[in-house]
Amino acid sequence: MSSIFKDYKIFAIVFGVISIIIVTIIYNTLNTYRPLPIYQPSMVSTELVDSTLQYKKKYHKIADFSLTNQNGQTITQNDYKDKIYVADFFFTTCPTICPIMTKNMARVQKEILNDDEVMLLSHSVTPKTDTVAQLKRYALKKGVNDKKWNLVTGDKKQIYALARKSYLAVKDDGDGGPFDMVHTENFMLIDKKRQIRGFYDGTNPEEIENLLNDIAILKEEYLQ
């Protein structure tokens, strides 16, 4: 009888050790840091990429820009130097997806309000209508914090080129002319090197959670 208990004790010890090893492996696997992808034009649906960029496999970055924010200040890529930021495209008179997107961007703003590494950038796709004064009214109404979130207007062709050739956010179906219209629910996560690190549906609360989680992952990347 004592031999049986002895054998059982050895089995229990061995089983316990194996279980600990398995649990440790699973834990380490689930908690291993995995960097976010760096999106290149070749990785994105061809519908969203200008034909001149569709087969580009590396070195894609957001182009330089010069636009005007809700306070009449000139905003360029230098204002986002060494920053992680979330970008989108909207217009203040939009009755459909834009109010939802703005609400969700405001939620992101709340989460990153005290984080000096992260900012927000919303481009008006109807810049002729969205004057500085209009953007300011909208910013006040929606609770935009000027230090964290720029709503920008400016040259329509420049904005549309950014949407299609830099952010890879919309279908290539126009030239930025007077009757052209960009309308997309995409939020783009941009890293400190001006590279795209994620796309998210700005109308979907679950996608906003994913975005916030990815911001944390991207911040960790700079600690590696």
* Nearest alpha carbon to residue 87 among 138, 145, 147, 163: 163
Pair (62, 143) in one structural domain: yes
The reply to whether 26 and 127 lie within a common domain is no
The CATH number assigned to the domain holding 153 equals: 3.40.30.10
The model carries a pTM of 0.82
- One domain for residues 17 and 94: no
88 neighbors 74 (Cβ within 8 angstroms): no
142 and 73 share a domain? yes
Q: How far apart are CA 216 and CA 80, in angstroms?
A: 18
Structural domain including 8 reads 1-32
Verify that 120 and 61 share a domain, yes or no.
yes
Residue 97, exposed/middle/buried by CB under 10 A (0-12, 13-18, 19+)?
A: middle
Residues 65, 15 within the same domain:
no
What local confidence, expressed as pLDDT, does residue 180 receive? 59
Residues 143 and 93 in one domain: yes
Give yes or no: residues 62 and 101 share one domain: yes
Same domain, 17 and 52: no
Whether residues 83 and 23 share a domain: the answer is no
Q: Do 47 and 26 share a structural domain? A: no
From the centroid of its chain, how far is CA 134? 25
pLDDT at 211: 98
Strand, helix or coil for residue 169: coil
Question: Total structural domains in the chain?
Answer: 2
Instruction: Name, in order, each residue with C-beta under 8 angstroms of 9's C-beta and a sequence gap of 6 or more.
Output: none
pLDDT per residue as tens, the chain (224 positions): 555 555 555 655 656 556 565 544 444 444 566 899 999 999 988 877 777 888 888 999 999 999 999 999 999 999 999 999 999 999 999 999 999 999 999 999 999 999 999 999 999 999 999 999 999 999 999 999 999 999 999 999 999 999 999 999 887 555 555 545 677 899 999 999 999 999 999 999 999 999 999 999 999 998 87
pLDDT given for residue 30 in this prediction: 47
